[in-house]
Amino acid sequence: MSADLKAKAGLEDVVATSSAICYLDGDRGVLAYRGYDIHDLARFATFEETCYLLWHGRLPTRAELGDLQSQLAAARPLPEAVLRLMKMLPVVDGMDALRTLTSALGHYDADAAASGAQAAYRKAVRLTGQMASLVATWGRLQEGDMPIAPDPAMGHAANFLYMLSGQRPNPTATRAMDVALTLHADHELNASTFAARVAAATLTDIHSATVAGVATLKGPLHGGANAEVMKMLLEIGEDAPVDRVDAYVRGKLARKEKIPGFGHRVYHTEDPRATHLRQMSRELGQKAGNTRWFDMSERIEATVRAEKKLSANVDFYSATTYYAMGIAIDLYTPIFAVSRISGWTAHVLEQYANNRLIRPRADYTGPQYPQHWVPLEQR
C-alpha cells in the first residue's frame, strides 16, 4: 500500500510548511528575519527589537519597544519554586538542566491554564525573559556563587551578563552578546524549530513545544556544536604549533569524523552569521590580549576549506567569542537557547495561527507483510 512512498534522507530540501518569518538563500548566503538582512540586524538591532520583529512581523516603534522591554524585565525574576528545583538538580549538562527547568516554568506561568493567542504571546515574552535568567543563574550555581537578581534597568544582553558574572558588563561585552543573541534568534526550519512546530501543531502548549526545541537543540549536530568546538580547541592545546593543528584536523577527517562548527544543510557558501562571529571573536581576543584561540580557529577553517570545501557555520566562532568573554563552555549551547527562544516562540505562534497537524509518512522497510503469527511456545 505504501510502495510509492520514497523517503528523502533527513528531509533535505523538503518544504514542510509556509512561513513568513525567516528567509534563507543557501546559495547566496542570505539570511533575513521578516525581510531584514541579518547583516543590518547585526549592525543596528538590539535583541529586543529582533524579538519584536520576529513576533510581530515589523520593527517596533519606540513606545512598543519600551513596552516589550518592560514586559521582559518583569518576566526575568524566576519563580521561587524553579530556583529551588534548580538547586536540587544533580551536576548535569547545562542543556539537560535547561530542559527540566523550562518544563518547570510552565507550572508557574501566570497563564498556565489559559490557551488562545493572547495567552500564548504573553507566555512567549515571559519564556524569553526567563530563559536568560535560567541560564545565568544555572551558570552561577555551577561556580558555587549565589544567584543575582535581575536589574530591570538593563537591556536583555547586559542583564544576562550581569546575572551571570555579578559585574556590570562593559559596552564591548554587552554589544557582543547582543549581536550574538540577534544572530542566533531564528533560522527557518532548523531541527529544533521544526521540533517545536511539530509539537505546537498538536495544539499542545507553548512551554511543551519549547521543551521539544530545547531537547532538540542539545544535540552535537545542532546547537551542541558550539561547545564541541571549544572542547576541540582545548584538546589541540593553546600552545600547539601550527603543524599540530593541521595534523589534528587532517587526522579527524581521515577517520571520517566531523569537525564541529563546519558544514550546513542549507548554506553552500559562508554562513552569514559566521562572518560577524569571526569578527567578534577576533576583536574580543585582541581586547583580552590573547588571539591564540582565534588564530587556531582561522587555521582550522583554512584547512577544512582546503580539504573538504566546507565553511564555518554559526557555531564555529561563537565558541571562541564566548570563551574570550570568560563564559563557561557548558553554557554555550544554553546561550543559543537564550536567543533561539525568540524564534521558537515566533514559529509556534505562527503555527497556532494557521494550524494543521504535522504528520508525514514513512517509507516502510521492515519485514514483508503479512508475517505468519508463530505462537510463543513454538518460537
Ligand X SMILES: CC(C)(COP(=O)(O)OP(=O)(O)OC[C@H]1O[C@@H](n2cnc3c(N)ncnc32)[C@H](O)[C@@H]1OP(=O)(O)O)[C@@H](O)C(=O)NCCC(=O)NCCS
Strand 22-25, strand 30-33: pairing = antiparallel
* Alpha carbon of residue 49 to chain centroid: 18
Question: What is the smallest separation between the CB atom of 360 and ligand X, expressed in angstroms?
Answer: 18
Question: What is the smallest separation between the CB atom of 307 and ligand X, expressed in angstroms?
Answer: 9
Does 265 interact with ligand X (rule: CB under 6 A)? yes
The torsion angle over the Cα atoms of residues 364, 369, 375 and 377, rounded to 10 degrees, is: -60
- Match 543557501 to its residue by C-alpha cell: 26
Range in contact with ligand X (rule: CB under 6 A) among 16-24, 163-171, 217-225, 340-348: 217-225
Does 308 interact with ligand X (rule: CB under 6 A)? yes
Among 195, 206, 236, 314, binds ligand X (CB under 6 A): 314
- Closer residue to ligand X in complex, CB, 42/105: 42
Q: What cell numbers appear for 339 in the block?
A: 536567543
- Closer residue to ligand X in complex, CB, 120/217: 217
Among 99, 264, 278, 282, binds ligand X (CB under 6 A): 264
Q: What cell numbers appear for 299 in the block?
A: 587555521
* 315 among known catalytic residues: yes
- Which burial class, exposed, middle or buried, applies to 216 when counting CB atoms under 10 A from its CB (0-12, 13-18, 19+)? buried
Residue at shortest CB range from ligand X: 263
Question: What is the smallest separation between the CB atom of 221 and ligand X, expressed in angstroms?
Answer: 4
212 closest CA partner among 102, 114, 113, 136: 102
How many CB atoms are located within 10 Å of the residue 50 CB?
A: 28
Question: What is the smallest separation between the CB atom of 243 and ligand X, expressed in angstroms?
Answer: 20
- Closer residue to ligand X in complex, CB, 98/259: 259
Does 10 interact with ligand X (rule: CB under 6 A)? yes
Q: What cell numbers appear for 130 in the block?
A: 526567563
Q: Which string of x and - marks every residue 171-210 that binds ligand X (by CB under 6 A)? A: ----------------------------------------
Does 227 interact with ligand X (rule: CB under 6 A)? no
Residue 25: φ, ψ to 5°: -125, 100
| 3-class SS of residue 168 | coil
286 closest CA partner among 324, 238, 329: 324
Q: Which string of x and - marks every residue 240-259 that binds ligand X (by CB under 6 A)? A: ------------------xx
Among 57, 100, 263, 279, binds ligand X (CB under 6 A): 263
Annotated catalytic residue within 187, 222, 264, 347: 264
Does 274 interact with ligand X (rule: CB under 6 A)? no
Does 305 interact with ligand X (rule: CB under 6 A)? no
Element (H, E) at 33: strand 30-33
Residues 6 or more apart in contact with residue 169 via CB below 8 angstroms:
158, 161, 162, 177
Q: What cell numbers appear for 193 in the block?
A: 524549530
Positions marked active-site: 264, 315
Where on the chain is the footprint of ligand X (CB under 6 A)? 10, 221-222, 225, 258-265, 308, 310, 313-315
